[in-house]
């Protein structure tokens, strides 16, 4: 599943064939079909796995009770470092950058993307609330928006230093 | 070209075949090939056209010399209303939401996406400078980031009222 996720994340959903998934995972096509049904089911299972990983990452960040500035630093820098990984180079977030391309034409992928964003907004709201900011929901939506952009910018080739500068600016605005 | 752009914007690059482009534009495949070369050339021409439209839209906004709050309102609400249009429903920005899916595997599309972001960041920096904000470049990168997210959220089905609330919150942070 991890190898399949990397393929989807690198190439996007539409560019990833079952042959490529078979090659990447070392599992033949009939077995992939037998286990997951079809390419879309495998992609949605990959998004669900990413969803679960993000959920536990946010839960861990919530557990440590960081003060506001340290929390935002962990949030943004953690996101940036993740977005800069990938098979061939910086690949951002699979949900934001591959599901969005399918979201208009495919209602299931659109729903999965919306769930993903709701999970992210919701957790960041909890973190903002814990940090005692005045408008946790609004602050969370902006922090989450900046993360969406950092992901897209990473995929566009923006260097780490510029991504970090954007994260620092967002932190300054949110803590002002 | 407008019809081809709509197809690419709705379905994404990989899902749009030359047959679909021929059907959408009413131009047959051989003529499309003769005029543009191939699907990628047509897509890049579409991005360049979008680039030119965005450029003149920003130039017009710069010409009117709005005070800061009015400028940000025009910027964000104009973006949101554009993102909510589409063939079948809210389709966001073609560059942010379809080029990003191709950007890791295709260097030309990655470069076009990076140019698009630079254009947007650069114009918003000029608008911030004109509005007299203390950190035009940093403020512009945050405003531009919020626009990337509004586009992605529109594609995920986020309702207008929530997009507008995010824009208002971003405006409040930037003007604080």
Q: What is the pLDDT of residues B1-26, one digit of tens each?
A: 889 999 999 999 999 998 889 988 89
Closest CB from B88, B100, B173 relative to A155: B100
Q: Do residue B146 and residue A149 have CB atoms under 8 angstroms apart?
A: yes
pLDDT band at A2; cut points 50, 70, 90: confident
Distance CA A19, CA B172 (A): 50
Closest CB from B15, B166, B170 relative to A105: B15
- Is it the case that residue B35 has pLDDT exceeding 90? no
Q: What is the mean pLDDT of residues A113-133?
A: 97
Residue of A96, A156, A174 to mutate, testing the B interface (most B Cβ within 10 Å of its Cβ): A156
Computed over every residue of chain B, the mean pLDDT equals: 95
The tens digit of pLDDT for each residue in A24-61 reads 888 888 888 888 889 999 999 999 999 999 999 999 99
Q: Do residue B144 and residue A148 have CB atoms under 8 angstroms apart?
A: no
The 10 Å Cβ neighbour count of residue A90 is: 23
Residue of chain A with shortest Cα separation from B139: A169
Question: Are residues A125 and A136 in contact, defined by beta-carbon separation less than 8 angstroms?
Answer: yes
User: In this structure, is the dihedral angle defined by the CA atoms of residues A16, A20, A26 and A30, taken in order, positive or negative?
Assistant: positive
Residue of chain A with shortest Cα separation from B163: A141
Q: What is the mean pLDDT of residues B42-69?
A: 96
Considering the segment(s) A48-175 as one domain, its CATH architecture is Orthogonal Bundle (1.10)
In the prediction, which pLDDT does A35 show? 84
The 10 Å Cβ neighbour count of residue B149 is: 26
Q: What is the mean pLDDT of residues B140-146?
A: 98
pLDDT band at B80; cut points 50, 70, 90: very high
Q: What is the mean pLDDT of residues B59-66?
A: 97
Question: Are residues A134 and A149 in contact, defined by beta-carbon separation less than 8 angstroms?
Answer: no
Across B106-124, b (16+ Cβ under 10 Å) vs e yields beebbebbbebbebbbebb
Cβ neighbors of A81 (< 8 A, separation 6 or more) are: none
In the prediction, which pLDDT does A37 show? 85
Q: What is the mean pLDDT of residues B129-138?
A: 95
Question: Are residues B37 and B50 in contact, defined by beta-carbon separation less than 8 angstroms?
Answer: no
In the prediction, which pLDDT does B37 show? 86
């Amino acid at each position: 599943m991890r190898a399949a996720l990397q393929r989807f994340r690198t190439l996007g959903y539409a560019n990833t064939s079952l042959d490529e998934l078979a090659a990447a995972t070392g599992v033949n096509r009939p077995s992939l079909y037998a286990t997951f049904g079809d390419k879309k089911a495998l992609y949605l299972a990959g998004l669900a796995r990413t969803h679960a990983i993000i959920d536990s990452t946010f839960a861990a960040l919530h557990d440590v009770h960081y003060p506001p500035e340290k929390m935002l630093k962990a949030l943004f820098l953690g996101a940036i470092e993740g977005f800069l990984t990938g098979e061939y180079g910086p690949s951002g977030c699979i949900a934001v950058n591959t599901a969005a391309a399918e979201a208009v034409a495919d209602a299931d992928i659109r729903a999965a993307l919306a769930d993903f964003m709701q999970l992210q907004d919701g957790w960041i709201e909890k973190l903002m609330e814990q940090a005692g900011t005045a408008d946790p929901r609004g602050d969370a939506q902006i922090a989450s928006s900046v993360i969406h952009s950092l992901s897209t910018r990473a995929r566009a080739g923006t260097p780490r230093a510029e991504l970090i500068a954007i994260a620092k600016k967002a932190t300054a605005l949110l803590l002002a």
